[in-house]
């Protein structure tokens, strides 16, 4: 039978090195104190180690059977000392009986009565087993803390992933059904426009589904979605919605979080244009600002300090930027020019 | 059945689509349309329709805001893209709503239901000559925070003045509406709704017991257990009315 070293568990490593070390120490002390290393000494040492191995293994079996490690701290301490004490007595009782039968007592030992030998040997064994149990309990305690930390970390990453997914997948159902309704009306009124509207809606739905899988998309793609989205909103709002793009050509290749601009534009429509009977204008600009990519969305309207009430777009944008870029990205939203709201995103260019 | 209807929706395409669907129902005559709540309010006051198709999300005021500003609401069918949660706010009343894009079958059901409701009420029909007065069969829209009701005036037992608001008592509910008691008194039929004192208007059909009170006043006990004091001056008027 072959035993691969890597297959030996930590427990058996500790057992073997521990008891091996114990035997070596015995020899070392015998040597330093100039005691004769006789055959009975070697046999005694051998029995001490073998018995120690067997008994501690039996002790561990009891610890596992009683589920001591799962108990409360008070109970663990109680069991810890109780079991250590019990097994020390058992250990010395067996070893002394064995030495007695086999006639392995040293000349000094023969002087004392058996009960006195038992007390002395038990105290010795108690110290040894105390160390054994301390190592055993501490090992498991440390192991458990480490596992808890690992679980917590895994949990965090799962939560983070889920958060990102739900944020990305967000498309306003109100928008989808209103668009479909508009398209149905256009089927008779303007069939050609109805056909493009269906394509535009498909593009938006497809990209919102793909957004879950992607960390970033080229700005050009994101912009195409926003253009489709605004075309559909213009179909619904007609002359009430005006759109204005100011895009620096070189920013088209920059990576951006998927559906982020889309969410901000959707917010601008929802809070800015759709609330206003006369409608309004949306301006989108993308340019370089130092070593940052700056996206600006402006819409007619006022914040009126109430953007916390329906702050899904704002809080989700903030947390998405934070998750992707840490503190090097930044998002602000403010009233400007008296009757406009400006949302501004700054993303580091080489931060990805 | 013939009903004059107004469509109120901010999207022209949505209004067109509904008009097209309604061509299958000759009993519904679309007399006008409005693209926001303000315009809707004016047209309802001016044209006095039997029925409105009302979108909830509109620029400026919502469909709910529009209803709260009406003294008397016509029959209402809500049309909305995705506001089921908002419609769940409705408690007691049988109100209908259509989800856009509207299914022709659902529209037929909703119109059929209007027809049936009308047959039930045919006996209680009172043709009020003066449309500025509210009759018992008129319904009002009441919104209190998240909850909304369509309430028939005959189901209201008491109006109580609370500052600029009036508390409306019906069933187990007591929501507030933004109307003064004096304004209400002007519009309510005084044969049914009696101004008992400075703070209360009582529905006379909801009185359970009448007891004499201090100073020649009266104490009215209305259904639900509330006790309302009638001032001496009003007590004279009350006795006069009751003896008739």
* Nearest CA-CA distance, residue A278 and chain B, Å: 8
Q: Please tell me the distance from the alpha carbon of residue A326 to that of residue A330, in angstroms, as a whole number.
A: 9
pLDDT band at A165 (very low <50, low <70, confident <90, very high): low
User: Would you say residue A2 has pLDDT above 60?
Assistant: no
Assess contact for A203 and A224: CB atoms under 8 A: yes
Angle (nearest 5°) at CA B60 between B56 and B62: 20
Calculate the average pLDDT of chain A. Answer: 84
Residues contacting A16, CB < 8 A, separation 6+: none
Q: Which residues pair with B55 in a beta bridge?
A: B79
**Nearest-Cα residue of chain B relative to residue A279:** B59
Show the DSSP H helices in chain A as ranges. 10-32, 39-65, 73-102, 107-111, 114-168, 173-189, 191-210, 219-237, 260-267, 312-325
* Contact state of A236 with B16 under an 8 Å Cβ cutoff: no
What are the C-alpha distances in Å from B178 to residues B62, B144, B169, B175?
16, 10, 14, 10
Q: Which pLDDT score, from 0 to 100, does residue B189 have?
A: 85
In chain A, which among 236-255 make CB contacts under 8 A with chain B?
Answer: 236-238, 240
Q: Which helix (H) or strand (E) holds B113?
A: helix B104-120
- Work out the pLDDT band at A121, boundaries 50, 70, 90: confident
pLDDT of residue B128: 42
pLDDT for A193 equals 94
Q: What is the mean pLDDT of residues B150-169?
A: 90
Mean pLDDT in residue range A13-25: 86
Put simply, the answer to whether A279 touches B59 (Cβ < 8 Å) is yes
Predicted pLDDT at A182: 93
Does A173 contact chain B (CB < 8 Å)? yes
What b/e readout covers A152-164, taking b as 16+ CB neighbours within 10 angstroms?
A: eeeeeeeeeeeeb
CB-closest option in A186, A274, A276 to B13: A186
At residue B121, the pLDDT reads 58
Residues of chain B contacting A, Cβ within 8 Å: 10-14, 16-17, 20, 36, 38, 57, 59-60, 81-83, 99-102
* Angle, CA of A321, A326 and A329, to the nearest 5°: 55
Q: What is the pLDDT of residue A70?
A: 83
Q: Tell me which residue has tokens 């899988």.
A: A213
**What is the pLDDT at residue B131?**
52
Count each helix (H run) and each strand (E run) in chain B, helices first: 7, 15
pLDDT of residue A334: 87
H or E segment and range at residue B117: helix B104-120
Residue A224 has pLDDT above 90, yes or no: yes
Query: Are A174 and B57 an interchain contact pair (Cβ–Cβ within 8 Å)?
Result: yes
User: Cα–Cα distance between A86 and A64 in angstroms, integer?
Assistant: 16
pLDDT over threshold 70, residue B109 = yes
Mean per-residue pLDDT, A188-210 = 91
**N- to C-terminal Cα separation, chain B:** 38
Determine which of A173, A177, A181 to mutate to test the interface with B (most B C-beta atoms within 10 Å): A181
Structure token digits, residue A76:
């663990």
Percent of chain B with pLDDT over 70: 88
A chain contacts of residue B56, beta-carbon cutoff 8 Å:
none
pLDDT at A286: 96
DSSP letters for A151-165 = HHHHHHHHHHHHHHH
pLDDT of the residue at B129: 42
CB-based contact B221:B227 (threshold 8 Å)? yes
C-beta separation of B141 from B148 below 8 A = yes
Please give the pLDDT value at position A169. Answer: 56
pLDDT for residue A177 is more than 50: yes
Hey, are the CB atoms on B13 and A277 less than 8 Å from each other?
no
- B82 vs A219: which has the higher pLDDT: A219
How many CA within 13 A on the CB side of residue A341?
A: 23
Q: Are A335 and A302 within 8 A, CB to CB?
A: yes
Q: What is the CA radius of gyration of chain A?
A: 38
Q: Say yes or no to pLDDT of A283 above 70.
A: yes
Q: How confident is the model at residue A167, as a pLDDT? A: 59
pTM above 0.90, yes or no: no
A/B interface, count of CB pairs below 8 Å: 61
Residue A203 clears pLDDT 60, i.e. is over it: yes
Provide the pLDDT for residue A186. 94
**CB nearest B81 (choices: A181, A238, A240):** A181
Provide the 10 A C-beta neighbour count for residue A223. 21
- At B14-30, the pLDDT tens digits run 999 999 999 999 999 99
Contacts of B97 (CB under 8 A, 6+ apart): B77, B78, B79, B80, B87
The answer to whether residue B93 scores a pLDDT higher than 60 is no
């Amino acid at each position: 039978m072959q035993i691969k070293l890597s297959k030996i568990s930590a427990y058996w490593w500790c057992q073997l090195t521990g008891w091996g070390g114990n035997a070596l120490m015995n020899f070392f002390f015998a040597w330093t104190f100039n005691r004769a290393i006789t055959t009975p000494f070697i046999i005694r040492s051998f029995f001490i180690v073998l018995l120690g191995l067997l008994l501690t293994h039996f002790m561990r079996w009891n610890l596992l059977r009683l589920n001591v490690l799962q108990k409360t701290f008070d109970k663990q301490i109680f069991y810890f000392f109780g079991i250590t004490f019990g097994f020390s007595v058992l250990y010395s009782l067996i070893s002394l009986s064995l030495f007695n039968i086999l006639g392995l007592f040293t000349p000094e030992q023969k002087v004392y009565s058996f009960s006195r030998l038992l007390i002395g040997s038990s105290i010795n064994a108690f110290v040894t087993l105390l160390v054994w149990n301390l190592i055993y309990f501490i090992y498991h305690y440390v192991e458990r803390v480490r596992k808890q930390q690992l679980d917590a970390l895994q949990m965090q990453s799962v939560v983070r992933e889920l958060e990102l997914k739900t944020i990305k997948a967000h498309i306003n159902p109100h928008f989808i059904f209103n668009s479909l309704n508009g398209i149905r009306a256009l089927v008779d009124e303007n069939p050609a426009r109805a056909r493009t509207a269906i394509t535009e809606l498909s593009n938006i739905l497809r990209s919102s589904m793909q957004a879950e899988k992607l960390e970033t998309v080229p700005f050009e793609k994101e912009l195409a979605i926003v253009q489709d989205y605004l075309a559909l909103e213009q179909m619904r709002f007609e002359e009430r919605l005006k759109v204005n793009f100011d895009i620096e050509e070189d920013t088209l290749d920059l990576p951006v979080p998927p559906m982020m601009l889309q969410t901000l534009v959707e917010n601008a429509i929802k809070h800015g244009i759709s609330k206003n009977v006369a409608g309004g204008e949306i301006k989108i600009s993308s340019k370089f600002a130092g070593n940052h990519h700056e996206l600006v969305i402006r819409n007619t309207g006022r914040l009126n300090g109430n953007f916390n009430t329906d702050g899904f777009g704002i809080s989700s944008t903030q947390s998405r930027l934070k998750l992707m870029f840490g503190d090097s990205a930044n998002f602000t939203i403010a009233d400007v020019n008296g009757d406009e709201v400006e949302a501004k995103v700054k993303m580091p260019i080489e931060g990805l | 059945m013939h009903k004059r209807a107004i469509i109120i929706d901010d999207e022209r395409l949505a209004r067109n689509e509904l008009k097209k669907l309604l061509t299958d129902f000759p009993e519904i005559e679309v007399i006008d349309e409005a693209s926001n709540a303000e315009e809707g309010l004016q047209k309802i006051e001016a044209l006095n329709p039997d029925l409105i198709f009302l979108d909830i999300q509109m620029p400026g005021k919502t469909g709910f805001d529009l209803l709260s500003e009406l003294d008397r609401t016509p029959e209402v069918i809500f049309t909305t893209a995705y506001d089921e949660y908002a419609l769940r706010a409705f408690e007691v009343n049988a109100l209908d709503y259509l989800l856009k894009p509207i299914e022709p079958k659902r529209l037929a059901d909703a119109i059929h239901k209007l027809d049936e409701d009308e047959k039930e009420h045919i006996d209680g029909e009172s043709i009020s000559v003066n449309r500025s007065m509210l009759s018992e069969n008129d319904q009002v829209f009441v919104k209190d925070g998240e909850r909304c009701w369509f309430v028939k005036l005959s189901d209201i037992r008491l109006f109580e003045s609370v500052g600029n608001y009036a508390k409306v008592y019906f069933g187990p509910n007591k929501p507030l509406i933004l109307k003064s008691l004096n304004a209400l008194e002007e519009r309510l039929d005084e044969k049914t709704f009696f101004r008992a004192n400075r703070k209360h208007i009582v529905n006379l059909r909801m009185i359970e017991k009448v007891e004499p009170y201090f100073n020649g006043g009266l104490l009215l006990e209305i259904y639900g257990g509330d006790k309302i004091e009638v001032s001496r001056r009003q007590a004279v008027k009350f006795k006069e009315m009751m003896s008739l």
